[in-house]
Amino acid sequence: MRPTNAKTFFNLTLNIMNYMKSFLSILFASILLTGCGAAAIVSTPIGNVDNTPVKETPLTEAESHHWGHLDLQKDTITGMSVDKAYAELLQGKKGRTVIVAVIDSGIDIDHEDLNDNVWVNEDEIPNNGKDDDSNGFVDDVHGWNFLGTAYDEQLELVRLLASGDRTNPRYDEAQAEYEENRSGAESSKTRYEQIFQMASNAQEALSAHFGKEDFTADEVRAIETDDENLKESVSAAKQMYGFGFSSLLEAIDQLKGGIEYFSDQVNFNYNIDFRGRTTGDNPDDFSQTSYGDNNVKPVKKSESHGTHVAGIIAAERQNGIGMDGVANNVKIMAVRAVPNGDEYDKDVALAIRYAADNGAKVINTSFGKYYSPHSDKVREAIAYAGSKDVLIVNAAGNEGADIDTVNVFPNDTFGTGPEVSNTFLSVGSITSSYGSKLVSGFSNYGAINVDLFAPGSAVYSTTPENEYDSKSGTSMAAPSAAGVAALIRSYYPKLSAAEVKQIMMASGLKINREVIIGGDPAKTGPFEGMSQSGRIVNAYNALVMAAQRSK
């Protein structure tokens, strides 16, 4: 994956240069692609996009629900050219089924847009209470749940403080961070509650005034009244519109989410006395592996992250409902290991090994943290997955930080030390805006430790109970890239995981623009310096390159 010192960077650069010689005709000229059993197709890779105009108009609803699949040159939206790939490269071709493991929170495997694309362990007899395939997990028909009935958890730095281990070299750092962040969470919770109450009161008063719950901003702005209470409600509504909300109902819904988020931080994440684990094992004892159960679904509706990630990769395509996943021919293996808080290193390491041992060819890891007491064990698992030809696609993180200078976990290296695997792909997030705001303000970056970027802002996907929503994060960028990796592995199965990673990095769109870094308008730099490849994932180019490479 990521070159981590000067020597490694130099060697990998030479390798890529040699590797790229065989692709020059792909990148800069038309080539003839011939698929097994398919007619020859003349295809030209997407090349220089520097003259593509910046899209000035807002996205339509249809575009906002599908933007990650669109094409920069055709649509002036920074998608991955997925639709173009299906239309021009994959018509009439049949790929192999690829198992993609999603290590995350619970996944609603009964969702209308996912239920036909869920992995089934054919060697396991459902619900007979036996480990039929002798893999160490009883009745693991669709995956495994390493969390049991738990979901809420502390952050890792809080676990460190709760241990009382003052000999830990990061104890004082954790203490300072805890005091600052817990105080901030409490203040934010109070502020959100106040704004929520103001918006709720305004909604109630304006609903009574209009005789309806749903009214427009223009209707509110047109109100002329001497009623002081109504004036106050109009002012509150205008404030919500100023925050970017289209309606008070939308504001109230979002504010509820904020209250829940900061309440969870106060009550669980930053609560030193809270104990969330229910599985009965010692999370520091890696010899204890028989814990958890086979229920991979969320324990509550708000546990939606895993379902959203799974949909980005594998929601059923062209079924006329919801949205389309990036990849067809995919079966999602659900591995529940990410709580509402920081994941345990043991759960992550065992989840990676479980996926690799049970047939996954791609693993999506949309989670991360900045303290990791057993990061060595996780890296061992990453190396193990690499030895079994599994590509891990990992979210780079959401703090707008340069992770060449800050350790973020999981990773395949510590700091800028040697890598343990060349099959670990770290992904940053972009927006739908082709211009200075291309990089999502929250996205981590790094010329060494981030490999490439993919759509991650306001990505529309599945959520529990047959619902859909837009979420933002490198958590969304990783599955966008993982879907492209699955496409390559499906249609060109002879390519190794390392080759798929190389192809994705070499074939992405190279963007020669100055962009805002870390969400700070005062801080700008070239996009190409924010990742090792300087590119954004492009499914069309990747498949063109994969076709040539597989020959």
Question: Domains plus CATH for the chain?
Answer: 6-53+61-119+300-550 (3.40.50.200), 171-269 (no CATH)
d(CA 218, CA 222) in angstroms, rounded, equals: 6
Structure tokens at 286: 């890696």
Residue 55's pLDDT is 75
How far CA 160 is from CA of 167, 278, 375, 423, in Å, comes to: 11, 19, 14, 31
Nearest alpha-carbon partner for 25 in 500, 512, 548, 504: 548
DSSP bridge partners of 41: 33
* Residues 361/500, Cβ–Cβ less than 8 Å: no
* Residues 335/184, Cβ–Cβ less than 8 Å: no
Residue 47's pLDDT is 62
Measured at the alpha carbon of residue 38, what is the angle toward residues 32 and 44, in degrees to the nearest 5?
Answer: 30
Q: What one-character-per-residue DSSP string does 404-431 give? A: TTS--BS-SSSTTS--S-S-EEEEEEE-
What radius of gyration, in Å, describes the C-alpha atoms of the chain? 24
Residue 44's pLDDT is 55
**Main-chain dihedrals φ then ψ at residue 129, nearest 5 degrees:** 70, 20
pTM tops 0.75: yes
Residue 3's pLDDT is 33
d(CA 212, CA 206) in angstroms, rounded, equals: 8
* Residues 50/512, Cβ–Cβ less than 8 Å: yes
DSSP bridge partners of 362: 100, 391
Residue 173's pLDDT is 97
Residue 431's pLDDT is 97
Helix (H/G/I), strand (E/B), else coil: 118:
strand
Angle, helix 6-21 to helix 497-507, in steps of 10 degrees: 80
Q: Where are the alpha helices (DSSP H) in 65-170?
A: 72-75, 82-88, 156-163
Residue 38's pLDDT is 32
d(CA 96, CA 492) in angstroms, rounded, equals: 9
Please list the rounded mean pLDDT of every run of 10 residues in the chain (551 residues): 34 36 34 33 57 78 96 93 97 96 98 98 97 97 98 98 97 97 97 96 97 95 94 96 92 94 97 97 96 98 97 96 97 98 98 98 98 97 98 98 95 85 98 94 97 98 97 98 98 98 96 94 96 97 95 84
Q: Which positions ≥6 away from 169 have C-beta within 8 Å?
A: none
User: How many residues comprise the chain?
Assistant: 551
Residue 51's pLDDT is 67
